[in-house]
Structure 1
Amino acid sequence: MKTQLNEIRSCTICSAHLPQGTRPVLAADPSSKIVIIGQAPGARVHETGVPWDDKSGENLRGWLGVDEHTFYDPSQIALLPMGFCYPGKGKSGDLPPRPECAPQWHDKVLSLLKEVRLTLLIGQYAQQYYLGNETKKTLTETVRSFKDYLPDYFVLPHPSPRNNIWRAKNRWFDETVLPELQKKVESVL
């Protein structure tokens, strides 16, 4: 697996489209029990090279009910974004993940993870890629129907602070989804 990760970390497939250049960021180990499939690294993660090293990561760790040590232990949790490099800034936030990464690398990495018991799909890009036509009309409807995707996937919105307004409008998420998520994570780890 180390060879595969090194190959990914030296990938330059989409370098012509990345204003900040390539810096693939991910973490995985053959014994990973949980796989978190997110969007793409943000600017801070691009700088540090540490997945989810930002406010979104803090929120996600809180949602999962895990500490930093557990979160960053690849034998426990694999961190696999849809796009491995920071895609750059758009009009209303970061650009979408580059479309080259997931088809090029995901199957290769996931096939090496033999102990996975829970896969989290965070945000619409991961959900559309992995669920295809099984997604609902909106991300809200997909997340509200999270039980429909179990045991294969646990679907979540992105934990960005930008989504605090969404959470305030959708209190059921904190009341229903997060307790179920924490129970699942605890039972797997």
Structure 2
Amino acid sequence: MPPHDTTDSQLATLLHQIRACTACAQSLPLGPRPVLHASPRARLLIASQAPGTKVHETGVSFNDASGDRLRAWLGMDRDLFYDTEKVAIVPMGLCYPGVLPQGGDRPPRPECAPLWRQRILDHLPNIRLTLLVGSYAQNHILGKGKVFERVEQFARYLPTYFPLPHPSWRTGMWERRTPAFGEIIIPALRREVARALQD
């Protein structure tokens, strides 16, 4: 069996285990439905937060307005975005965590990343760039910090990481009052993504 077939088989086994996970089922209002996209040949990793309700319903990461905004930032169409041979999408929490009493989604379940994340990454040997989307991904990987400060100082984290805000409607206000996001950060993001994906 060729080595890549072995790697594919090992990742497929792991994904089967993940999709059968019930570790925090009692805490999930809609029940467990882990959503992630991965291939051993992926070169770009999108480390996000946790699925929303539409993602939970469809089983497709970023299949919502936040995904439209993220794809616009990347200058990437849906075909490339969901091409797991090139792009892996692995959130900190793989299942929809529910809603906070005051509104907004709950944080990713704390059990999830320690249980599965490194095991997934061990099967993604070709990742060249990781997009850290939102506070939970950034804090997990970089330690505690301020999201927008990290985004504005993105060059400090290259070539391994590129921090981004969560692409929700709430980010729009910051985006409008931060001209550098469109003028400097987005062009740099697209250059780094192109570098990661090039043959």
Is the pair's TM-score, using the shorter chain for normalization, greater than 0.5? yes
Identity %: 49
1:11-30 to structure 2, matched below 5 A, reads 11-30=21-40
User: Which amino acid is the alignment partner of residue 104 of structure 2?
Assistant: G
Moved more, 95-104 or 168-177: 168-177
1:78 and 1:17 map into 2 onto residues whose CA distance is 26
User: Which amino acid is the alignment partner of residue 118 of structure 2?
Assistant: D
Alignment equivalent of 1:172, drawn from 159, 180, 185: 180
1:112 and 1:120 map into 2 onto residues whose CA distance is 18
1:169 and 1:96 map into 2 onto residues whose CA distance is 26
TM-score (norm 1): 0.95
Number of residue pairs matched? 186
RMSD: 1.0
Partner of 2:111: 100
Partner of 1:144: 152
User: Which amino acid is the alignment partner of residue 111 of structure 1?
Assistant: D
Alignment equivalent of 2:190, drawn from 176, 182, 185: 182
1:78-97 to structure 2, matched below 5 A, reads 78-90=88-100, 91-97=102-108
Alignment equivalent of 2:162, drawn from 154, 161, 165: 154
| 1:129-162 Cα shifts (integer Å, max 9, x gaps) | 00015x3xx2111111111111121100001122
User: Which amino acid is the alignment partner of residue 119 of structure 1?
Assistant: T
| 1:55-104 Cα shifts (integer Å, max 9, x gaps) | 11111111111111111011110000000000111123111111111111
2:41 and 2:75 map into 1 onto residues whose CA distance is 20
Shift of 1:171: 2.0
User: Which amino acid is the alignment partner of residue 93 of structure 2?
Assistant: G
User: Which amino acid is the alignment partner of residue 184 of structure 2?
Assistant: T
SS in 1 for 2:88: strand
1:60-139 to structure 2, matched below 5 A, reads 60-90=70-100, 91-132=102-143, 135=145, 138-139=146-147
Structure 2: where are the runs of 5+ without partners? 1-10
Residues 1:54 and 2:53 are matched in the alignment? no
Which has more radius of gyration?
A: 2
